[in-house]
Amino acid sequence: MGALMETISTAKSHGGVQGVYRHESKATGTPMTFAVFVPPQAANGPVPVLWYLSGLTCSHANVMEKGEYRAAAAAHGVILVAPDTSPRGEEVPDEPGNWQFGSGAGFYLDATQAPYATHYRMYSYIVEELSALIAAEFPADMSRQSIFGHSMGGHGALTIALKHPDRFKSCSAFAPITEPSTADWSRPALEKYLGTDAGVWRAYDAVALIEDGKRFPEFLVDQGSADPFLETGLRPQLLAAACASAGIPLTLNLREGYDHSYFFISTFMADHIAWHAARLGR
């Protein structure tokens, strides 16, 4: 790999390569670690890119170790990129006792409030900086990209797709936070990162973005019926109502008995990858 990036580890898997990498981020002002699976088809030329955004308390490692995505990514010939969820380091402001804010809880936004604005710039990091690095360092066909995620990462995937419908061919989510500006576990974080003007929060709220005119061709959402955060934090019915009002097709699968964990995500991971692959021309 090039000088921009340090290779932490690589391992062969399903004929492809699972790697973990680190680079110095200008967006966050910190080192950032991310995982990339490159399928065997990439030996013959660039292949599509599928972004996976993780949830609260997670890093790149959670989906890499528990998500069970490599067989499907290899079968369909797509690169899967798993970024971290926040900047990390001694200089990064944090609330160690609060799992819903700070380290592991970047909410895929660009903070505007001190002291968080210097480092918590995950929106710019994903959309601009890491995208450019993937294009430069991997056999990636950046004209064919899709995005999905879990919980906070589902929120990130939905909002990024809605703001960049020309970049992403498809978007799906596992148990996404659909309206973070009013949810118990995200509203306090938005206030700390973005200030007290709730109108500003709408730029990082999927339901609000749809209400404000943003559009995407369709969404796929899987949600466990036994998810303990279903009614207080996730509330997929709000996304369903917004999509219905806007005429956005939404496939919402309520999976009986499944919770919020990677046992749930890994069960339906191959379905999501196949759904994206079809829209990526694979």
For residues 199 and 211, give the distance between their C-alpha atoms in angstroms, rounded to a whole number: 13
Tokens of 96: 């160690």
Interstrand relation of 47-53 and 79-83 (parallel, antiparallel or unpaired): parallel
Known catalytic residue at 212 = no
Active site residue: 151, 172, 181, 186, which one?
A: 151
Residue type, 180: P
Known catalytic residue at 205 = no
In degrees, rounded to 5, the angle at the alpha carbon of residue 121 between the alpha carbons of residues 120 and 126 is 130
With CA atoms as reference, report the closest residue to 101 among 190, 192, 194, 189: 189
Place of tokens 């046992």: 263
For residues 278 and 282, give the distance between their C-alpha atoms in angstroms, rounded to a whole number: 6
Beta-carbon contacts of 36 under 8 Å, excluding residues fewer than 6 positions away, are 18, 19, 21, 79, 80, 81, 82, 134, 138
With CA atoms as reference, report the closest residue to 239 among 186, 162, 164, 169: 162
Place of tokens 């759904």: 275
For residues 257 and 264, give the distance between their C-alpha atoms in angstroms, rounded to a whole number: 9
Active site residue: 23, 60, 150, 260, which one?
A: 260
Known catalytic residue at 197 = no
Place of tokens 């490599």: 70
Kindly calculate the radius of gyration of the chain based on its CA atoms and give it in whole angstroms.
Answer: 17
> What are the DSSP E strand ranges found in the chain?
6-13, 16-24, 31-38, 47-53, 79-83, 140-150, 168-174, 219-224, 250-255
Active site residue: 59, 181, 227, 272, which one?
A: 227
Which residues participate in catalysis according to the annotation?
151, 227, 260
